Amino acid sequence: MIFLLKTPKRDLDEEWKQLEIEKDEAFENRVNLMVMNGRSDVQAIKYIRKEKNLGLLHAKQYLDRIKESKK
């Protein structure tokens, strides 16, 4: 028997705090513009890793949160 636990979605501000990265509107806009102009998520993640000095997982989470907040 398999049990799946669904956790409630947290507030975006709380998730940003957990990631311990200050919101940087200018940087987020640059990343969002990259994605809108056809850059792949991989390229955006590489850019985030380089600029914010993050590991792969945190850079991916950062990108996901940027995308979610722009919806």
pLDDT for residue 5: 53
Give Cβ neighbours of residue 43 (< 8 Å, ≥ 6 apart).
Answer: 34
Residue 45: exposure state from Cβ atoms within 10 A (0-12, 13-18, ≥19): buried
pLDDT of 22 strictly over 80? no
Residue 60 belongs to some domain of the structure:
yes
37 within domain boundaries: yes
- Does the residue 6 lie in any domain? no
* Domain-embedded: residue 46: yes
Tell me if 32 is assigned to some domain. yes
Residue 10 lies in a domain: no
What is the rounded average pLDDT of the residues 29-55?
94
Evaluate whether residue 4 is within a structural domain: no
Mean per-residue pLDDT for 41-67?
Answer: 93
Task: Give domain status of residue 8, yes or no.
Answer: no
Domain that holds residue 50: 24-69
Structural domain total, the chain: 1
Question: Hey, how many other C-beta atoms are within 10 angstroms of the C-beta on 39?
Answer: 14
User: Is this prediction's pTM over 0.85?
Assistant: no
